[in-house]
Amino acid sequence: SQKIEQNSEALNIQEGKTATLTCNYTNYSPAYLQWYRQDPGRGPVFLLLIRENEKEKRKERLKVTFDTTLKQSLFHITASQPADSATYLCARGTGRRALTFGSGTRLQVQP
């Protein structure tokens, strides 16, 4: 089966630093990967989508990469702020649009 693996341990960083979250997938490369943010008690919020043929995508302080050799996506938040504290979810797309989510990595940015 196609799996998405994210580091289940929380990531704690200091304000102003760059946060880097890892997402690994198994089997064949998905057509695209998506990253979402989820706050406690709320629905996920879409952040970025990166396609298989794209190496890197940016949006404001966010950057995502897609390495098909390593079967890995990295998600970066530069100049992190306490407001960035949340759980970040990686998801792989299937040919039929359903998303397979990882369990998420909780990010805590200390002021």
Rg of the chain's alpha carbons, rounded to an integer?
13
By CB under 8 A, tell whether 49 contacts other proteins.
yes
CA dihedral for 53, 2, 6, 41, sign (positive or negative): positive
Assign 12 to helix, strand or coil: strand
Residue 100 touches other proteins, criterion: CB under 8 A: yes
With CB under 8 A as the contact rule, the residue among 20, 32, 76, 108 that binds other proteins is 32
Q: Which of 42, 69, 83, 111 binds other proteins (CB under 8 A)?
A: 42
Token readout for 20 is: 């880097």
Q: Closer to other proteins at the Cβ: 34 or 65? A: 34
Q: Which of 19, 21, 25, 44 binds other proteins (CB under 8 A)?
A: 44
Three-state SS at 82: helix
Which two three-digit tokens encode residue 102?
């990882």
**Which member of 14, 16, 45, 82 binds other proteins (CB under 8 A)?**
45
